[in-house]
Amino acid sequence: MKNITVIGAGTMGNGIAHVFAQHQFEVTLVDISEQALEKGMNTIRKNLDRMLQKGSIDEGSVQATLGKLTTSTDMKVAVANSDLVVEAATENLELKLKIFKDLDAHCLEGTILATNTSSISITHIGSVTRRPEKVIGMHFMNPVPIMKLVEIIRGYNTSDETASSIMELSKKLGKTPTAVNDYPGFVSNRILMPMINEAIETLYNGVAGVEEIDTVMKLGMAHPMGPLQLADFIGLDVCLSILHVLYDGFKNPKYAPCPLLTNMVMAGKLGVKSGEGFYDYSESRKAEKVASQFKKA
């Protein structure tokens, strides 16, 4: 594989494009707006600069990576000669099905179509194409340039050849691919989301406050980040969407979203992306923290 197209320039999409380009693949990053593409490329540049400052890469590597990246708002043209397309759009079933129908129509017959979905059935996605044997899940973890794991999910019709090819490709990216079966939430979110949901229930029931819950899990369970802070970084809307997929897939009440989570999403409190979730990420809050640090100094 040489030519890679990534659909979606958001947090996951730009991270996936970054990693492929850093490993010398030719990468086209696609989104519906130039603004989204500009934002995605700016994120890649900032992440490369951060790696440069830490000494993990040199200036030559930064320029080489950027040189492997192009952007486009025309998906039809961008995927025409792709060996692999990785879809990293919003976690919405209808949107993903539409994208895969379009990809199937415009890609070469041998192109592998991968999805970064964190919970949606690979079999369902593959069923809307004429190449279900070439449809597979590549669930990268956030932040993509740092996290080693990639969940590799085979749909019911995914071929051995496709699965083997994607496993080997993931290793070339410096990742650790792990094969899992196609059930709602796969492994990562089937375990993680109920934990996050239970942390929200614990807050909802008044057992403890936000910082107290996160402190218990960080210091008591050695988690690098508390579940409520992690939910903010994932996006509360994404957490809610995944819980709906789990609940619809298993019909088990343990996956039913906490009412507090539902209300926060409806109120637009989505976490880091909106500036407020269980924690306050607004500019005014940042200014307060800086002022507080000066006072202490």
Pick the catalytic residue from 151, 197, 274, 276.
151
Nearest one of 31, 55, 56, 51 to 41, comparing CA atoms:
31
Q: Is 8 assigned to a binding site?
A: yes
Pick the catalytic residue from 82, 119, 189, 241.
189
Helix, strand or coil, per DSSP, at residue 250: helix
Q: Is 241 a catalytic residue?
A: no
Query: 144: Cβ–Cβ under 8 A, 6 or more apart, which residues?
Result: 12, 15, 16, 18, 19
Q: Is 119 a catalytic residue?
A: no
Contact 104, 128 (CB under 8 A): yes
Pick the catalytic residue from 3, 18, 139, 241.
139
Residue 99, both tokens = 């994208």
Q: Is 237 assigned to a binding site?
A: no
Q: Is 18 a catalytic residue?
A: no
CA distance 139 to 150: 5
Count CB-CB contacts under 10 A for residue 276: 19
Residue 80, both tokens = 């025409």
Q: Is 263 a catalytic residue?
A: no
Q: Is 11 assigned to a binding site?
A: yes
Q: Is 10 assigned to a binding site?
A: yes
Q: Is 273 assigned to a binding site?
A: yes
CA distance 259 to 201: 8
Pick the catalytic residue from 118, 121, 197, 241.
118
Q: Is 142 assigned to a binding site?
A: yes
CA distance 1 to 26: 10
CA distance 5 to 71: 9
Query: 64: Cβ–Cβ under 8 A, 6 or more apart, which residues?
Result: 24
Strand-pair partners of 153: 137, 180
CA torsion 103-247-276-215 (nearest 10°) is: -120
Binding site per annotation, positions for NAD(+): 8-13, 31, 91, 96, 118, 142, 273
Which segments are annotated as binding site? 8-13, 31, 91, 96, 118, 142, 273
- The catalytic site residues sit at 118, 139, 151, 189
